[in-house]
Structure 1
Amino acid sequence: MIPATRPYKVRFKHEMTDNQGKTTTYYTERPVIAWDDNGIPLVAGDRHLVPANTYKNYAGLCEDDENYIAAIPGDGWKIAWKQADGSPDYIEPVLAWVVTSEGNARPISTDLNGEVDFVRPSSDIRMIAPGEEPPSNP
């Protein structure tokens, strides 16, 4: 058995038919815990690890999102969002930094509606370090 050191997930296909006979397909996912000696992904079963391809609805394997191992406070960092209409930048605090198993850190922020999400790299944003003055718009 080989430990899963990179995040992968197994997909399982499900089909559900409603009262009118319409079939809907959806997928569920499970993390790969390890690999067998032949490279088959193993997932957690009820009592032990199970080869994923033994399930009749096994639909394949895909890379999972980054493996987050820690979160640290935003500690005064801010994000300046450039506004398309030329109005002053929208500035919001970094709530936290999440750290991946590979040592990368990604900022998390919230919008005016309270939705929390990762800050995606973009030419329309600028990170503002603690103590740094926010940018002024012309």
Structure 2
Amino acid sequence: MLQVRLPHKSLADNTELRLRAGTLSTELSCPICLDLLTQTMTTKECLHRFCADCITTALFRGNKECPTCRKKLVSKRSLRPDPNFDSLIAKIWAFRNSYVHGKPLFLEHVFLSMANPYSSHSLMSTITEFQCDL
């Protein structure tokens, strides 16, 4: 008997997917600077993504290959902007300025507060203060 493969059902526009931020961090980070992509540029040859500043600096310094797969990149013309990817990042990390290297900025304050082992009050006030700022 012949089996017919059916396509997956498509998601409706109002479907909400929930993923942990860490799940996507490698896909949304620049392999050069390891930060969230900014002004994303995609290589035409291999479709890898980089921050515009990172990849143009690499090309300017004479590195004429993709930093990820080493495929040859002739020039800056081998790159194209990817505004759709930038808008995806903006939706996922809506409070982008409160993140450093994909991690919540307030963790820095929490770790500083934890440096004083006798100050649980300081730790709780730091967390509360950050939540109020959001």
Query: Which TM-score applies when normalising by structure 1?
Result: 0.25
Larger radius of gyration: 1
Structure number having the greater strand percentage: 1
Structure number having the greater helix percentage: 2
